[in-house]
C-alpha cells in the first residue's frame, strides 16, 4: 500500500472512530452545541499544527519508541504495551485536566496507532488516523482536545467530555475500539520482528 493510500485510509479510519465517539456522546446527551461558524484562521492553523504533530508523534512514539522496544525485546506485544503506556502517561504529565479515564483512552490511542505501525511497518496509516482523530474532534466538531481548545471550533462548536474533551469519556474507548477493528480489517498481519 502506498504512503498516500495509507494516509487517506488512516484519515477515513480516524474520522470514523471520533465520529462514533461523538455520536454516542450525542445519543446519551453528553454534547451541547453552541452553533456553527466558519473560522478560516483556526482551520488553516489546525491543518498545519495538527498535521505536523501527527507526523512528529508517530515518528517518536511508533518509529523510535515502539520500533526500538521491538528490536530490544523481540516482542511486538510487549513493545506495543510499553510504548502505548508511555504515550498515555505523557498526556498525564503534560495535561492539567487529565483523568484516569483520559489516560486510559490516550493509552488506547497508543495501541491503535502502534497497531497501525506494526501491521504496515510504516508510520503513514497511523499519521492519518492520528491527524483525523484530533482534527475532526477539535477543529471540525469544536470539542476540547486533550485538554486544549487551541485548535477547536473552526466549524461547529460542540462541548462535552469535561475539561479534557471526548477523550475523557468512556465513549472514546468505544471509538478507539472501532479504529482498532478497522485497522485489523484493512491491513494484513506481518511479522513485526526486525530482520537480524
Residue 69 has pLDDT above 60, yes or no: yes
Predicted confidence band of residue 94 (pLDDT cuts 50, 70, 90): confident
Is the CB of residue 143 less than 8 Å from the CB of residue 33? no
Extract the C-alpha cell encoding 107.
Answer: 493509552
Where helices occur in 31-99 by DSSP H, the ranges are 40-57, 67-73, 76-94
pLDDT of 162 reads: 85
Q: What is the pLDDT of residues 134-190, one digit of tens each?
A: 999 999 999 999 988 888 888 888 888 888 999 999 999 999 999 999 999 999 887
Give me the phi and psi of 159, to 5 degrees please.
Answer: -130, 140
Q: What is the pLDDT of residues 41-62, one digit of tens each?
A: 999 999 999 999 999 999 999 9
Amino acid at each position: 500500500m502506498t504512503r498516500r493510500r495509507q494516509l487517506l485510509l488512516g484519515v477515513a479510519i480516524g474520522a470514523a472512530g471520533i465520529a462514533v465517539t461523538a455520536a454516542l456522546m450525542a445519543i446519551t446527551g453528553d454534547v451541547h452545541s453552541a452553533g456553527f461558524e466558519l473560522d478560516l484562521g483556526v482551520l488553516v492553523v489546525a491543518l498545519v499544527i495538527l498535521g505536523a504533530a501527527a507526523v512528529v508523534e508517530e515518528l517518536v512514539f511508533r518509529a523510535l519508541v515502539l520500533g526500538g522496544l521491538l528490536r530490544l525485546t523481540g516482542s511486538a506485544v510487549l513493545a506495543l504495551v510499553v510504548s502505548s503506556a508511555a504515550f498515555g502517561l505523557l498526556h498525564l504529565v503534560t495535561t492539567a485536566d487529565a483523568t484516569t479515564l483520559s489516560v486510559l483512552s490516550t493509552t488506547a490511542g497508543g495501541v491503535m496507532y502502534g497497531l497501525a505501525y506494526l501491521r504496515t511497518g510504516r508510520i503513514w496509516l497511523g499519521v492519518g488516523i492520528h491527524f483525523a482523530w484530533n482534527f475532526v474532534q477539535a477543529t471540525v466538531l469544536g470539542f476540547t482536545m486533550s485538554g486544549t481548545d487551541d485548535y477547536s471550533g473552526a466549524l461547529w462548536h460542540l462541548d462535552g467530555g469535561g475539561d479534557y474533551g471526548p477523550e475523557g469519556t468512556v465513549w472514546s474507548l468505544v471509538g478507539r475500539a472501532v479504529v482498532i477493528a478497522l485497522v485489523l480489517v484493512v491491513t494484513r498481519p506481518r511479522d513485526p520482528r526486525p530482520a537480524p
